[in-house]
Structure 1
Amino acid sequence: MEHPTRIFIDTSKQLFQLHGVDAGEKVVIRRQLRRREMIPFFTRLAPTVIGLEACGGSHHWARELAGLGHQVMLLPAQYVKAYLKRGKNDGRDAEAGCEAMSRPTMRPVPVKTVQEQAVLMLLATRDRLVRSRTQLTNAIRGHAAEFGLIAPTGLDKIEPLLERVAADQALPDLARDLFAGLGRQLLALQAQIVEIDARMAAHHRADQTSRRLARIPSVGIVGAVMLAAKTPDPKAFRSARDFAAWLGLTPKDHSTAGKTRLGGITRAGDEALRAVLVCGAMAVIQNAKAGRGQPWPWLNRLLATKPTKQVAVALANKTARIAWRLMVSGQDYDPSRRLAAPSQQPA
């Protein structure tokens, strides 16, 4: 077998499809390996360039293959899709990936370390617990409403609702027992979330970048940890606008024939990170409307002419640009620069 200059691996749980070409773009590898065969095969292979789609498990394989002396590229799945020919199977997926990784303009995803993935697991665990808590409180409200018991909105209103249910002797014993069980589940979830938040706070205190990002008015501990953990090498972005575009906070471009047409935000990138930035912006806007906190002249001018949610996206865009600058320069947040108007607002 001739030595391949690059190999792409289409991964799955147990089967891995390989497609490799030599320096003349001739196919020299087209085979399928099982999981247990991966390490022995690439141990015998001379160092080469290996590509994988950036998906679940890909960072693990990237670290393993890099440890064997290979150069590993992780490609976003949407970039590989453009090179897929008619029909879809594992072989053609691997062929498309092999073609995609040869493009000089291809932008690979940085390989995460085990420590970085541990922090991402912490964030994902917290998100799952919060979603479970929301689902459970909605279930409690819904069941209570069937018995004519209505509570105001807010997480802090659930406990009084459960107390009303327990004291209502008109309810069947079965219903009150089930509500008590739901209440115990809620208490257990609350305790888990408190534990996760304590771990996140400890990580935040130990991470210098996260501490600096938390000084931005619309960024809290959760947002700072997410920005520091989910952002790849900040210096890989050419500008703050590129970073905002990576987060999906810049307008869609539908321009043609010399006519510029900008639409709503692209919503590309990490949805959770973008949502945290927008939620933080909404909190700042609510304080600004109520006259609380420090003044935001340009923000108040926008609120006078634009819808609130559109202004929140504009502020999230500005926050993302500030965060990028802090990560690249290593500087601390300067509150005096908050008075400057953003150079460009997303549509």
Structure 2
Amino acid sequence: MSLSIYGIDLAKHSFSIHGEDEQGKILIHKTITRSKVLSTFANIPPAIVGMEACGASHYWARELTKLGHTVRIMASKYVTPFRTGAKNDLNDAVAICVAVTRPSTRFVKIKSPDQQAILLLHRARDNWVHERTALLNQLRAMLAEFGIIAPKGRHAIQKAIPEALEDAENQLPDLARAILSDSYEHLLNINKRIADQERCFDMLVSRSHNAQKIMKVAGIGPITATAVIASIGKGEQFDKGRDFAAWLGLVPSQYSTGGKPRLGRITKKGDKYLRTLLVHGARAVISAIGNKTDRLSLWCKNLVERRGFKRAIVALAAKNARIIWSLLSNGTEYQPI
């Protein structure tokens, strides 16, 4: 049975809806308030509803699914080519209605509330880490204003600040000491918050068999494991491991024409946060190879010799992404090579 198609342009307070039946006849084309969204779709027979990925899209997707509709979330880049006329909410809804029917459109898997909660934990930790880095740089600059050069590295400067405050001969004014002391206390509070959040990751891993399974892969820790599980679930939205690596932007960009393939740097498309975690994990693995003689270490050493350190890191990150997808999708256990 053919289903009607609806496109909804999400916002905070006003929502634009455009709907067509299987013959292309317009069923609805108007803007409604937030309070009327669910009541409007409750009176619509089961249909395909498309929407752009945004902050509230997963919430509305879950609510509309409860009403019997088939909801499809897509990135805005798939909608833009089908927008005609001026850029406004109703025209966006029309474009979404068209894009949701195209076979080339890729859709975002709807996340559960638990998955979103885990990702909130990741975003909060990432925010605190950025704030800590900025504060450390500020503290180093403050000390430099009075001729005190702090060493590089987080732990080194955290040790240097109390020493500078206790040194009575470094000619730090009382006001400067008070400001540095207050900033240092704030730094300790941030460290505590980050440590608490990292304990939450350990707790989440202890409750997830899939997270424990992918942590057996070299370079994958609790933070990366929980981020992957919360982002892709079991990876059913990808046909193969390379699709997952491509979604993360870990495959070469292509500019080919006339039968001449040209591959460049990695695309850096998709989820930047996950890609960063995988790359940092791969860097840690390759940096600690030393004199190891297992197959993975030998493979990494050979790659570093042939292609260089940074390319080897990206190659290992892409390899880990494909392995993770295989473990989650096929339900198998990791077997070290």
Q: TM-score, normalised by structure 1?
A: 0.92
Q: Is the 8 A contact 2:13 2:33 kept in 1?
A: yes
**CA offset digits 1:292-330 (Å, max 9, x no partner):** 685611211111122211110011111111111111222
**CA offset digits 1:29-50 (Å, max 9, x no partner):** 1100111111222222222221
Q: Which residue of 2 aligns with 1:146?
A: 145
Q: Which residue of 2 aligns with 1:130?
A: 129
Q: Which residue of 2 aligns with 1:104?
A: 103
Q: Which residue of 2 aligns with 1:316?
A: 317
Aligned positions of 1:1-347 closer than 5 A: 5-169=4-168, 170-288=171-289, 290-291=290-291, 294=294, 296-335=297-336, 337=337
SS at 2:268 equivalent: coil
Alpha-carbon distance in 1 for matches of 2:150, 2:309: 28
In structure 1, the gaps of 5 or more residues are 338-347
Offset, 1:232 = 4.5
SS at 2:54 equivalent: coil
SS at 1:88 equivalent: coil
Call closer, same or farther: CA 1:56–1:207 in 2, change over 3 Å: same
Alpha-carbon distance in 2 for matches of 1:85, 1:309: 43
Call closer, same or farther: CA 1:4–1:253 in 2, change over 3 Å: same
Which contiguous aligned blocks of 4+ residues in structure 1 show a shift greater than 3 angstroms? Answer: 292-295
Q: Percent identity?
A: 37
Q: Is the 8 A contact 2:72 2:107 kept in 1?
A: yes
Alpha-carbon distance in 1 for matches of 2:236, 2:70: 21
Q: Give, as a single letter, the amino acid of the residue that structure 2 aligns with 1:69.
A: G
SS at 2:305 equivalent: helix
Call closer, same or farther: CA 1:118–1:9 in 2, change over 3 Å: same
Offset, 1:4 = 8.1
SS at 2:124 equivalent: helix
Q: Give, as a single letter, the amino acid of the residue that structure 2 aligns with 1:229.
A: A
Call closer, same or farther: CA 1:258–1:228 in 2, change over 3 Å: same
Q: Give, as a single letter, the amino acid of the residue that structure 2 aligns with 1:187.
A: L
In structure 2, the gaps of 5 or more residues are none
Alpha-carbon distance in 2 for matches of 1:307, 1:141: 33
- CA RMSD in angstroms comes to 1.7
Q: Is the 8 A contact 2:19 2:97 kept in 1?
A: yes
Alpha-carbon distance in 2 for matches of 1:158, 1:245: 39
Alpha-carbon distance in 1 for matches of 2:207, 2:293: 28
Offset, 1:20 = 1.1
Q: Is the 8 A contact 1:129 1:193 kept in 2?
A: yes
**CA offset digits 1:24-76 (Å, max 9, x no partner):** 11222110011111122222222222111111001101111111122211111
**CA offset digits 1:57-96 (Å, max 9, x no partner):** 0110111111112221111111111212243111111111
Alpha-carbon distance in 2 for matches of 1:85, 1:143: 54
Offset, 1:102 = 1.4
**CA offset digits 1:100-155 (Å, max 9, x no partner):** 01113322211111111111111111111111111111111111111111222221
